[in-house]
A and B are shown apart, each in its own frame.
Chain A
Amino acid sequence: MNLMQLTLLEQAVFVLAALVLFLSFAMLAQARLLAGIHVFAWQGAVLAAATGLVAAGGAPHLFISAALTLALKALLIPWMLHRLVRRLELERHVEPLQHPALVLMAGAGLVIFSYWVVVPIERLELVTTRNILSLSLAVVLIGLLIMVTRRQAVTQVIGFMSMENGLFLAAVAATHGMPLVVELGVAFDVLVAAVLFGVFFLHINESIESLDVDRLNRLSAREDDT
């Protein structure tokens, strides 16, 4: 397909979607904690913008979810994470990635894979949405990849949230948002989740004096080890 057939707005949405994916990669590669949080905030912002554009493109109810996204993903959650990090004196925390090249290759592979997955959805009027679906799927998978590759609890949460971003992207771009009640419910859940994450950081920190999830493996001792 060529972008010529699309309106300017749609093109803009495309660009922003691509940006979201790029930011996921940035998160995947980011070693410094604070920087990671910032990248995440930016992703939220871009997502909000994309939502706004789609809304402008004739789905007014999306303005609300755009606002929600902006408030939650770009401002509130990053701020909370920031506070926690400062409270736990983790500002200087750096978590270098083992084999960064490999991880980035994997990320790229996931992108290709997700495209390959959605290709069979062949319907002309869907082409645009289909490709955006593949993007958002890629974002989701990369978010999962981040959680797999990072040992830092905070980074894991960031990965988790960026997965949610991917979901939003799909919801917004492919289906012009979900019904309002669902949007609200999801937003509420995300909020509660964020709060709970904060609570858990404290608990974990006081139980193992760090947020290294690899050290959370006492329970495996509850089974025979042979």
Chain B
Amino acid sequence: MPADFPLSLLLACAAVLLALGSAGSALGTGRVPGAKILMFLLLGGAGAAAVSAGLLALASPDAAVGELPLGLPWLPWRLRLDALAGFFLLVIGLVVMAVAVYGPGYVRDFEHGQDPLPVLGAFTGLFVVGMLLVVLADDAFLFMVAWELMSLSSYFLVAFQHEQAANRRAAFLYLLMAHVGALSILLGYGVLAAFGGGFAFDAMRAAQLSPLWGSVAFGLAFVGFGMKAGLVPMHAWLPEAHPAAPSHISALMSGVMLKVAVYGFIRFTFDLVGQLQWQWGVVVLVVGSLSALMGVLYALMQHDLKRLLAYHSVENIGIIFIGLGLGLVFLATGHPTAGVLGLIAALYHTLNHALFKSLLFLGAGAILHATHERDLERMGGLLRRMPWTGLFFLVGCISISALPPFNGFVSEWLTFQTALQSWLLEGGVLRSLIPIAAAVLALTGALAAACFVKVYGVAFLGRARSRRVRRARPVSRGMRLGQGFLATLCLLAGVFPTTLLQWLNAVPGQLLGRGLSEATAHGWLWLTPIAPQTASYSAPVVLLALALVWWLSATLLRRGRVRAVRRCDPWGCGFGSGLPGPRMQYTATAFAQPIRRVFGLLFHVDERVERDDAGLRHQLHVADRAWELFYAPVVRWVQAAARQVGRLQSGHIRVYLGWSLGTLLVLLWLIS
């Protein structure tokens, strides 16, 4: 019973209960005054409890276990909170807190719309409950229950604004793929359970699998979790579903739910399967690189802000899996230090992505809230309309573009460092494959930077392209606070990587029996993953130096003969008097056009120029190739099968009787 739980686990359970309470109190919204505030208070409480539980778990040397009197009689729900689970609790908690602060302002739109607030709030709570329980689960049954609870409740959230057909379609696709993934995971657990004799994780850890069955289990889990995480080519649902949900939910889905999938993969591969094989690492590495590249390229082609961010989730998940793949390769070939480094890099990027992707989605939500616009082509000049959001969004852009001194850079730097350890490996193939993956990572980073120059430049800079955007108002204080919270965390995680790494070390410490002792050996100032002479990075100094140079140059130049800055019109580009209109600005599509031409064959581009009475009309559709390659055939096949089967129900009773007679004869013949 919960009575004898350790403190960390108690806090975790408290988080679950608080989230449940938030779901419950949501049912009162609309009728009971203040229920809305209570709902978000409880949600925030859940987040805080999760964070504290996670920190406790990271600090404590061993795992906290407990049992709930629920589930199957012979398989009660077993909870286990070790460093890995703790870390992910931390990730979930932080974002949930931000969302709880942001939410009250954002949902104001829904209070008077016909999409009822109670539904939104209730499923948000359940969604958080599901994610927390997945992380806490210590047996496959509870894991699957929580996992599907997470999928189901998030599905309801995706379908929340169900009057647009696109959202319905997205929700259906999402639930379908989530279900397929879940069954694949279940099958993977089944293999482990068959060898370990039980669905409890302890039994699975003890299981001795033959390499073949190990690979089977790994493959199933990889497909299952990859489908949830949105790895190419299993990503099709992601860019559809994430934009469909309300923005703070998109933040939760992109920022946290995908991480829960990462958690599942790590738990399954690094913890349960046992004997690792380097081939797995190669698979993960290749798929990860593919996802990173395709994700960012497709993101560049989007001009719907939330869709673009969703594609960036594909990219960042790819980066995370690159790290995991490197870790797998190194661990399986007996280079624990490099392996641990890979795992750490992946975890670090997991945290970072959770922070900045949620930040960006909250920002997109703020824009949506203020302008009811998601289309970049109609934005512009928002920085002057909503300065705070603009500032925080800029932080998010810099972080996701992996620029120093923000957090995205650190994790990519660590990944590069891991890749550079490939000289340790024997096989020439691996040794040359890994740097190529690193090059892909570099390309991805550069393209991401390009993409966010586009986003920020088009949305926040320049001049407004539509009336509603021109009249945008700043959003409420709570919404700004939520973004600011995440932005601050982004900066901190970028500037104090060493301190963060000290916490992170506990994860591989418990999982693989060793951490990166060297990385943090030279004080909080220096991050030295392998050894000081190999590579080192001191984010605080960098930040300091940047600020110093900036200040120096600024102050020195102010001393110049002319201080003042005079405002004037920009150059008219030879258009004679006055400014060229806002429509003369580069659009998002135009910005991405060179890249679209360079990487043309990766997209399914449908570009046509039509002439109608309004003049020339240029239409451009960039479709995801994954559809025609992977999804359409399956659909066609099922339809055909259904058609064949349909003939059974011919409607003629004599045919039916014939079936009975035939069946009877066949069976009699069978048993004689």
Contacts and interface: CB of A to CB of B under 8 A. Distances in A.
Direct contact of A and B (CB under 8 A): yes
Interface in A197-223: 213-214, 216-221, 223
Contacts of A148: 654, 657-658, 661
B223 to A, nearest CB: 31
B429 interface: no
A224 interface: yes
Contact of A214 (B646, B649, B652, B672): B652
Contact of A223 (B649, B657, B661): B649
Nearest to B665: A113
Interface in A144-181: 144-145, 147-151
B338 to A, nearest CB: 57
B654 A213 contact: yes
Contacts of A141: 661, 664-665
Given A144-B660, A224-B646, A213 B653 contact: yes
A120 interface: yes
A50 B649 CA distance: 41
Contact of B651 (A147, A149, A220): A220
A220 B647 CA distance: 10
B657 A144 contact: yes
What's the dominant secondary structure at chain A's contact region? Answer: helix
Closest 10 interchain pairs by CB? A220-B651, A217-B651, A148-B657, A144-B661, A148-B658, A147-B657, A117-B668, A213-B653, A148-B654, A226-B643
Nearest to A215: B652
Given A144-B661, A223-B646, A120 B654 contact: no
Given A113-B665, A141-B665, 14 more contacts: A116-B672, A117-B668, A141-B661, A141-B664, A144-B661, A144-B664, A145-B661, A151-B654, A217-B651, A217-B652, A221-B651, A223-B649, A225-B646, A226-B646
Nearest to B639: A226
A220 to B, nearest CB: 3
A143 to B, nearest CB: 10
Contacts of B650: 217, 220
A220 B654 contact: no
B242 to A, nearest CB: 33
18 contacts: A113-B668, A120-B672, A141-B661, A145-B661, A147-B657, A148-B657, A151-B654, A213-B653, A213-B654, A214-B652, A216-B651, A216-B653, A217-B650, A220-B650, A221-B651, A223-B649, A224-B646, A225-B646
A149 B657 CA distance: 10
Contacts of A221: 651
Contacts of B653: 213, 216
**Max chain A CB contacts within 10 Å: which of B646, B651, B665, B668?**
B651
B391 to A, nearest CB: 56
A191 B665 CA distance: 29
Contacts of A223: 646, 649
Interface in B633-666: 643, 646, 649-654, 657-658, 660-661, 664-665
A223 B654 CA distance: 19
A116 B657 CA distance: 23
A148 B665 CA distance: 14
Contacts of A224: 646
B80 to A, nearest CB: 49
A226 B660 CA distance: 25
A64 B572 CA distance: 114
B621 to A, nearest CB: 29
A163 to B, nearest CB: 11
Nearest to B646: A223
A177 B380 CA distance: 93
Contacts of A144: 657, 660-661, 664
A220 B655 CA distance: 13
Contacts of A213: 652-654
B654 A147 contact: yes
A115 to B, nearest CB: 11
A221 B672 CA distance: 40
A192 to B, nearest CB: 21
Contacts of B643: 226
A213 B650 CA distance: 13
Contacts of B660: 144
Nearest to B653: A213
Interface string A3-14: 000000000000
B661 A117 contact: no
**Max chain B CB contacts within 10 Å: which of A144, A216, A221?**
A144
A64 B650 CA distance: 44
A226 B644 CA distance: 9
Contacts of B654: 147-151, 213-214
